Structure 1
Amino acid sequence: MVVYKTIDEANQAVVNKVIAGSPFLLDVVPAHTVIDEFNHGKLLLHAGPPITFDKMIDPVQGACIGAALFEGWADNEDDARQLLESGEVQLMPCHHVNAVGPMGGITSAHMPLLVVENQTDGNRAYCTMNEGIGAVLRFGANGPEVIERLKWMRDVLGPVLSLALQNREPLNVNVLVTKAIAMGDEFHQRNIAASLAFLKEMAPTIVGLDIEKDKKQAVIQFLADTDQFFLNVMMASAKSVMDGARQIQEGTIVTAMCRNGYEFGIRIAGMGDEWFTGPVNTPKGLYFSGFSEEDASPDMGDSAITETFGVGGFAMIAAPAVTRFVGTGGFDDALRISNDMTEITTTANPNFPIPTWDFQGISTGIDARKVVETGILPVINTGIANKRAGLGQIGAGTVTPPMECFEKAVLAYAKKLGFKGE
């Protein structure tokens, strides 16, 4: 076992593992085949730190109801809600089973999951696939069209992509990220280039599959239409790399950031699985016509794993086109945000140079000590959901964690090292 003489030395070791991470997309499989917890009764995974159903905000409860309908546990919304309120359905964070989920993050046994392996450390991570836009489960919608789309993803999209991935070499995610960051993606709010690069890689294999033509056409059309498809690949990839890095259980590097609509939670390397939480904030940004901040839901989702890895808001300078969409202004604002993020991170990751930043690599390794010392909070790009279930996305913006998450983590680690102060 390696003994690190200083916190800085331990932090550098964690960051080195992040930089050495090599995520590959291997397969798309039903969730219960890779997460054993699904095979022991009714279970739903959710985004963020642990939470009970009664504390979930309306969109997350709506997504839970949708998942119950999808799984056939109930025939209508009222019965599904009663089932969830009874406590018969276990609720567990995605992060507790090597997974991540967007927005509400609700994941059930028969939903297809992307399987990403970090070949550097041999660990795997999972994420549901992007549903597209409009009425979608991740924003709390649970109507018939939502359930039908989930069934199509289970019966067609997942199996076709699985078969395609089995008929080609594993997909090197780092290569796609390197390409797409040079084409204006930051991998949280903007994934257009990466999604098209993914389609470019997969389409020839899909076309050559010995399956019904209409299935091939439907899958290729869905991928072509879904600009944010790669976000979920990026989330699983970042999760796999950060989980590999947190095998070093020392230091103050942030290994996860996530939110469940009620609390924001972080983990740091030196404190293992322990969550440090605080009240979640509501994003600030731009709203679609007819909506305002009064309609906005508090922030939710595991997608901040992308910022933990060093993209998303941390790489805002890579995606000037996204700055107006999230309401941060223009190029100078993007530059300022990315420069600020260098103040709370350990180093630059040379694997992902940003042309608009004089080819500087993405900022990597959020140090909880630096967050507390500087007062600079991580900037997270995010979609904004309506506070009422089923009404979907109403805008986009940025959000920051509460400072108390980082203060609690630093204090806990100091006590672990023997510090006796308050």
Structure 2
Amino acid sequence: MSDLKELIRQANETAVNKLKNAQPYWVDIKPAHEVLGIDKYTLLHAGPPIAWEDMCGPMRGAIIAVLKYEGLAENDEEALALAGSGKIKYEPCHHHNAVGPMTGVTSYSMPMICVLNKENGNYSYSTINDGTGKGIRFGSCGQDTVDQLVWLEKVLGPALKDVVHTMGGINLKMIISQALAMGDELHMRNNAATNLFVKTIAETLCEVVENRAALTQIMHFLTWNNDQFFLNFAMAANKACADAAHGIEHSTMVTAMARNGVNIGIRVSGLGDRWFTAPAADVAGAYFPGFTAEDANKDIGDSAIMETGGIGGMAIATAPAIVRFLGAGKYQDAVNYTNNMYEITLSEQDQYAMPDMDFRGSPIGIDILKVVETGISPIINTAIACKRPGVGMIGAGISRAPLAMFEEAMVAFAEAHGLQ
């Protein structure tokens, strides 16, 4: 037993160091089919695997939108019939080294943010944030949503590709670190990060986009009420970091945590690609006027990769401005949340120093052993989607990852090592 404990300690030290030392750079924009290996009849989604008949309303709405966007359906009725016909294959984004916010629905033609972890050599991917209003990440499926997807593919995607090629790549970890020092926690608050990102690319963007009307559209999209634009870049960055730490024998560190609106699942570094799942949690938070908890969908999205990588809910204490928006109580409650997260993590990310915590590094490396031992589960900062397709975001809050899936992973780990 003592030998196994030492093997676990060494494995976890290796895993968390790979997570901490990763160097994610944005290096390209490419179509999903080129980097994810999918055809037009394969759609990716957030969270662990799920069948069409089990999907929540927002995810179904997003699928209706992308089937029209890809030209596979003329209208909602055709899209619904095709979606449930058995001709469409549904797979998690995580199975393709990708992540997607909220519904996470990703299709053949979408431009993908390509991130290279220069420390480990692995790539990760995410869609481009589709802006405020009727986005597919919240399940919207109207013509305005389809038009926005076309604009991302035809206008913004090519412009960003030219920008990053001209600049030779952008260090995303540097932007994340700076933004944390400016009041972001990088999950539900990306105000500073988005501003830093736009500032970084602005000059080059003006150089590469020759069409003035297109440039005006792009700048409006990036700067008008779209503070969450950087989230997708941060998600891809954290995915690249976490994937580098996956597959280390004997490690009990979580390398993926994702929700599909029905279930939530985790993957553990030393337990292969198996998902350990539980029913998705209700989100405790604050609602926009006219909405209540009765309107809310269960927790949804791959964006819990932020907490997996030591930010988001893990670093909520560094984002005082977001506390009331999340319905999280007083600022001291946010400090208490972050302090609790140190009890279930393997290390501190010194590169993510939090001014409001006396520059202590953020808690990083969720350990299933510590979660089960303490009974403390990770918190996840998140948006709240309406359970009805097409309505969109109706609030924001905090959810708790269910203990049951950590206990299931613990049992699997024990069985894998001959323990009863």
Classify the TM-score, shorter chain: over 0.9
Kept after mapping to 2: 8 A contact 1:320/1:330: no
Please identify, of 16-25 and 216-225, the stretch whose mean Cα deviation from structure 2 is larger: 216-225
Q: C-alpha distance in 2, partners of 1:210/1:195?
A: 20
What residue in structure 1 maps to residue 214 of structure 2?
215
The offset of 1:222, in angstroms, is: 1.0
| Alpha-carbon spacing, 1:220–1:210, altered in 2? closer, same or farther (3 Å) | closer
Q: C-alpha distance in 2, partners of 1:325/1:274?
A: 35
Q: C-alpha distance in 1, partners of 2:6/2:307?
A: 28
Q: C-alpha distance in 1, partners of 2:340/2:209?
A: 51
What residue in structure 2 maps to residue 137 of structure 1?
136
- What letter corresponds to residue 304 of structure 2 in structure 1? A
What residue in structure 1 maps to residue 26 of structure 2?
25
Q: C-alpha distance in 1, partners of 2:24/2:194?
A: 16
What residue in structure 2 maps to residue 176 of structure 1?
175
What residue in structure 2 maps to residue 227 of structure 1?
227
Q: Helix, strand or coil: the match of 2:278?
A: strand
What residue in structure 1 maps to residue 147 of structure 2?
148
Matched, 1:78 2:77: yes
Kept after mapping to 1: 8 A contact 2:187/2:382: yes
The offset of 1:169, in angstroms, is: 2.3
The offset of 1:27, in angstroms, is: 1.3
The offset of 1:210, in angstroms, is: 5.4
Kept after mapping to 2: 8 A contact 1:48/1:263: yes
What residue in structure 2 maps to residue 157 of structure 1?
156
When normalised by structure 1's length, the TM-score is: 0.97
- What letter corresponds to residue 318 of structure 2 in structure 1? A
Q: Give the % identical residues.
A: 44
Q: C-alpha distance in 2, partners of 1:4/1:401?
A: 25
Please identify, of 395-404 and 3-12, the stretch whose mean Cα deviation from structure 2 is larger: 3-12
Q: Helix, strand or coil: the match of 1:363?
A: strand
What residue in structure 2 maps to residue 236 of structure 1?
236
Give deviations 1:348-383, integer Å, cap 9, x for gaps. Answer: 011110011000001011000111111111000000
What residue in structure 2 maps to residue 195 of structure 1?
194
What residue in structure 1 maps to residue 350 of structure 2?
350
Q: C-alpha distance in 2, partners of 1:176/1:271?
A: 32
Kept after mapping to 2: 8 A contact 1:4/1:10: no
Q: Helix, strand or coil: the match of 1:259?
A: strand
How many residue pairs were aligned? 416
Q: C-alpha distance in 2, partners of 1:232/1:189?
A: 12
Q: C-alpha distance in 2, partners of 1:219/1:272?
A: 41
Please identify, of 229-238 and 25-34, the stretch whose mean Cα deviation from structure 2 is larger: 25-34
Kept after mapping to 1: 8 A contact 2:20/2:349: yes
When normalised by structure 2's length, the TM-score is: 0.97
Unpaired runs of 5+ in structure 2? none
- What letter corresponds to residue 312 of structure 2 in structure 1? G
What residue in structure 2 maps to residue 67 of structure 1?
66
CA RMSD of aligned residues (A): 1.1
Matched, 1:375 2:378: no
- What letter corresponds to residue 417 of structure 2 in structure 1? L
The offset of 1:177, in angstroms, is: 1.0
Give deviations 1:143-190, integer Å, cap 9, x for gaps. Answer: 011000110000000000001111112100111011111100000000
Q: Helix, strand or coil: the match of 1:364?
A: strand
Give deviations 1:211-260, integer Å, cap 9, x for gaps. Answer: 21111221122111220011100100000000011142431100000011
What residue in structure 2 maps to residue 295 of structure 1?
295
Matched, 1:399 2:399: yes
Unpaired runs of 5+ in structure 1? none
- What letter corresponds to residue 372 of structure 2 in structure 1? V
